[in-house]
Amino acid sequence: MIRPHGSDSLTALLVKDLVRRAALEAQAVKLPQLIISSAAAANAVMLGAGYFTPLTGFMNKADALSVATDMRTSDGLFWPVPVLNLVADGHGIAVGSRITLRDPNVSGDPVIAIQEVEAVEELTDEEIDLITQKVYRTGDPGHPGVATFSSLGKFVISGPIEVLNLSYFESEFPDTFRTAGQIREEIAERGWETVVAFQTRNPMHRAHEELCKIASDTVGADGVLIHMLLGKLKPGDIPAEVRDAAIRKMVDLYFPSNSVMIGGYGFDMLYAGPREAVLHALFRQNAGCTHLIVGRDHAGVGDFYGAFDAQEIFDEEVPSDALDIEIFRADHTAYSKKLNRVVMMRDAPDHQKEDFVLLSGTRVREMLAAGEDLPLEFARPEVARILMDHYAEDAAQVA
């Protein structure tokens, strides 16, 4: 199986020994308390679940700036996005102390981790701007990732952590949430060697379904991991539980048996386009996948990125030896009226625009909100019904 990034084994920071965990939980109530941001809590979950191997905690200022500028930590580890615990005020946090990190995403703000504080450093406005421009390629506050990052604070609290739970993901998504280690175990149990990962924060329509099949056939994969983000999204995105139901229905009805694993991970969407695509590749390598599908506007939002910027970054900025996972570069995918099937548009050079069924995400949301049926060429009817029911329920609650 493909090796984890920068290591021969996973670095999963969740404390699994129940006796040690209980002892740490008892200690946690006596330590200085810090309610962290949702972004930091998501980082803790990814560290706990092994997806951020080989990191052992939150980055310091030097690493954050180095990663933003050069996609490498100060000691040379390839990494595309800073992994930070940012707070608004760090003056009361003592270097060398241990602090309790509390989860803002669960009622009562329970303990999520204990951190050893190696440094408390303040970012200047210029340094925040640099990180924002490098990671998001924009400083526009209308970008949801920029808006979130800008709200987190200027103080970098760095140091190793021990994770005591994985937030709400295990309880709310028991059939879907999986750690990197659990995915590796299931890949081994299935006897798969070549595994294609498909990243999604949206429901999957026929184009996505076919893209998974095309990629799998092209690389000779044993199976596909459909790996959905379960964390925080921007307003208007489809909730995780609805996406989960829609994807499971599609897989049950339209994929061969034992060809797909469905999993989810506990991270908040960054909407960082190319840089987030590289992060997606890195933690799919940690989960044991050999390939990641990178399609049109991968991890993008609005018009902030070019259609294929997330593919080009792997050619232009990611060193060839930085990652072991391979990228499957996908084109626009649409239903061909001529061929009566979904194709990648680059594979149909004799087609004109009118030969394809093309619907924008905005138009799809408008149709769903209006209770209109989606075209069969665009969405499987069973999937469309789940989405229509969700929109109808939302409309009823508003009314």
Separation of alpha carbons 129 and 236, rounded Å: 27
Separation of alpha carbons 163 and 101, rounded Å: 9
Can you read off the two tokens belonging to residue 57? 């905690």
Give how far the C-alpha of residue 85 lies from the chain's centroid of Cα atoms, to the nearest Å. Answer: 18
Please say if 201 is a catalytic residue.
Answer: yes
Q: Catalytic pick from 184, 201, 243, 284?
A: 201
Q: Catalytic pick from 3, 190, 202, 385?
A: 202
Please say if 275 is a catalytic residue.
Answer: no
Distances (CA, A) of 189 to 173, 224, 258: 22, 14, 11
Q: How many CB atoms lie within 10 A of CB 307?
A: 13
Q: Under a CB-based contact definition with an 8 Å cutoff, are residues 388 and 368 in contact?
A: yes
Q: Under a CB-based contact definition with an 8 Å cutoff, are residues 90 and 157 in contact?
A: yes
Instruction: Name the pairing type of β-strands 326-329 and 86-87.
Output: unpaired
Residue numbers annotated as active site: 201-202
